[in-house]
Amino acid sequence: MTENKLQQAEKYILVAVSDNADEAKVSLEELSRLLETANGITLDMVVQKLPNRDPGTYMGSGKAHEIKELVEALGADGIICDDELSPAQIRNLSDILECKVIDRTMLILDIFAAHANTGEGKIQVELAQLKYRASHLAGLGKALSRLGGGIGTRGPGESKLESDRRAINRRISTLSRDIKDMERVRKTTRKKRSENAVPTIAIVGYTNAGKSTLLNRLTGAGVLAENMLFATLDPTTRVCKTEGGQEFLFTDTVGFINKLPHNLVDAFKSTLEEAKYADYILHVLDASDKDAEMHKKVVYDTLAELGITGKPVITAMNKIDSAEADRSLKDLAARVAVNISAATGEGVDKLLYAIEKLLEENRRLIDVVVPYSDGSLISQIHRYGQVVSEEYVENGTKVKAYVPVNIAGLFLEKQSL
Ligand SMILES: Nc1nc2c(ncn2[C@@H]2O[C@H](COP(=O)(O)OP(=O)(O)OP(=O)(O)O)[C@@H](O)[C@H]2O)c(=O)[nH]1
Ligand SMILES: [Mg+2]
């Protein structure tokens, strides 16, 4: 950071209250990475070990007074709590500390707001922010005004984040309607894809695992891949080919994180659910992160929460080129796991081979006569399948081929008509 930027950057003390001090420390380190992504600076991190969070002040009130002294001593702009706070907690803490009080949810919403590029992404973020505001309005007046500008208030609808409940609710219904329309468009695109019978693979994983880097390596997609959290928000789909020439689609989308805010999950449901309509899941795990086990758990928990279960998973243990990489990591939920480096390309051929095998496993042998009027079907069989024999008979092309299950399904549908 340049000196000028350092002077402008907001400085915070991070606070976590938990009965598990070790987990809280890991979570605070991640919160600090989130703050860095939002161009803020961490001055200090404080963990208070307590069996329960205080309903009035999140931390114990004695602790709150200690933190007030720390805020003054270090010249902090505010504090960021590692959990979503209730309106009462924000109000009370803000009264005691007399500084900005932000929670993990507000910080994540801020980052999403800064990284949303498309119209759809921006609308989804604004909706999530407004829903958060609406549920935190009660008596928040003074605490909200203390926020002023900066972290916790940024967003595509910055000027529209009014504090008037009626205006907020009106805007929420407009945005919800816009999102419904966009969902419809997305559905049509998906339907077209499934009619084309191209197998689709959704790339999922913890944020910063290397999903976009891998998509870029495999397809030259040119998606922004950077060492920051939530670099990618909008889904990108690209065609890729196996050695044997079988085409399939890769979709890269928003990453997961521990304690993903509910309002975001709600607003980003259709984006997050891209994986729901994929045939396979490619799980990218950062094997160089010491918290890889926790990341893996969060990914599977989030998939389950979104109702995405029972799909074949291939796991790519990424960043294997790094000195910190753990080459012995396991993913027992995956069908296959391959060590790769999306950055150097190491192991990527093995990954493609594993994908090819999985696609083959899901092929069916068809032996059919396709009417001459159905020329597009024949070209699909050539494109996505492996033709064993083909001859021209009186009423059409008689073809015997191994094809992806979705193409085989087209024939079953026809037969049942
Ligand atoms: N050493 C090493 N770094 C990698 C590798 N793959 C990705 N990275 C780095 O990891 C960081 C994150 O990569 P991205 O591809 O943006 O990760 P992502 O999973 O798409 O992250 P989000 O979109 O932010 O959720 C970047 O700085 C990459 O250069 C790898 O194989 N080895
Ligand atoms: Mg990405």
Q: Among all chains, which residue has been given the structure tokens 């959290």? A: 229
Q: Can you tell me which residue has the tokens 């990341």? A: 295
Q: Is the CB of 213 under 6 A from ligand 1?
A: yes
Residues 339-344: what's their mean pLDDT?
97
For ligand 1, the distance from its centroid to the CA atom of residue 320, given in whole angstroms, is 12
Contact yes or no for 238/250 (Cβ under 8 A): yes
Q: How many beta carbons lie within 10 A of that of residue 86, not counting itself?
A: 17
Ligand 1 neighbourhood includes 125 CB (under 6 angstroms):
no
Ligand in closest contact with the CA of 319? 1
CA distance 281 to 311: 7
- For residues 182 and 164, the model is more confident at 182
Q: What is the pLDDT of residues 285-313, one digit of tens each?
A: 999 999 999 999 999 999 999 999 999 99
CA of 348 to the centre of ligand 1 (A): 15
Burial 257-278 (b: 16+ CB within 10 A, else e): bbebbebbeebbebbbbbbbbb
The CATH 3.30.70 domain(s) of the chain lie at 362-416
- Count Cα atoms within 13 angstroms, Cβ side, for 50: 17
What is the pLDDT confidence band of residue 416, given thresholds at 50, 70 and 90? Answer: very low
Q: What is the pLDDT of residue 89?
A: 93
Contacts of 33 (CB under 8 A, 6+ apart): 229
pTM attached to this predicted model: 0.85
CATH architecture, range 362-416:
2-Layer Sandwich (3.30)
Every domain of the chain with CATH number 3.40.50.11060 lies at 1-196
Whether residue 7 is predicted with pLDDT greater than 80 in this model: the reply is no
Cβ-contact 79, 15 below 8 angstroms: yes
Closest listed residue to residue 399, CA positions, set 272, 31, 287, 374: 374
- pLDDT of 140: 59
Interval 11-16 mean pLDDT: 98
Which tokens belong to 351?
């990954």
| 323 within ligand 1 shell (Cβ under 6 A) | no
Confidence check: pLDDT of 277 > 50 = yes
Q: Predicted confidence band at 331 (pLDDT cuts at 50, 70, 90)?
A: very high
The superfamily (CATH) of domain 1-196 is GTPase HflX, N-terminal domain (3.40.50.11060)
Residue 271 alpha carbon to ligand 1 centre in Å: 20
Enumerate the β-bridge partners of residue 246: none
Ligand nearest to the CA of 208: 1
Residues counted in the chain:
417
Q: Ligand 1 pocket, 221 CB below 6 A?
A: no
Per-residue model confidence as pLDDT tens digits over 36-89: 999 999 999 999 999 999 999 999 999 999 999 999 999 999 999 999 999 899
Greatest Cα pair distance in the chain: 90
Output the residue whose Cα is nearest ligand 1's atom 7. Answer: 210
Q: Per-residue pLDDT averaged across 324-347, rounded? A: 95
Q: Is 94 in the pocket of ligand 1 (CB under 6 A)?
A: no
The boundaries of every CATH 3.40.50.300 domain in the chain are 198-360
What local confidence, expressed as pLDDT, does residue 139 receive?
47
pLDDT score for 222: 76
Q: Which residue has the higher pLDDT, 266 or 416?
A: 266
pLDDT interval class at 14 (50, 70, 90): very high
**What fold is seen in the domain 198-360?**
Rossmann fold (3.40.50)
Give 281's DSSP letter.
Answer: E
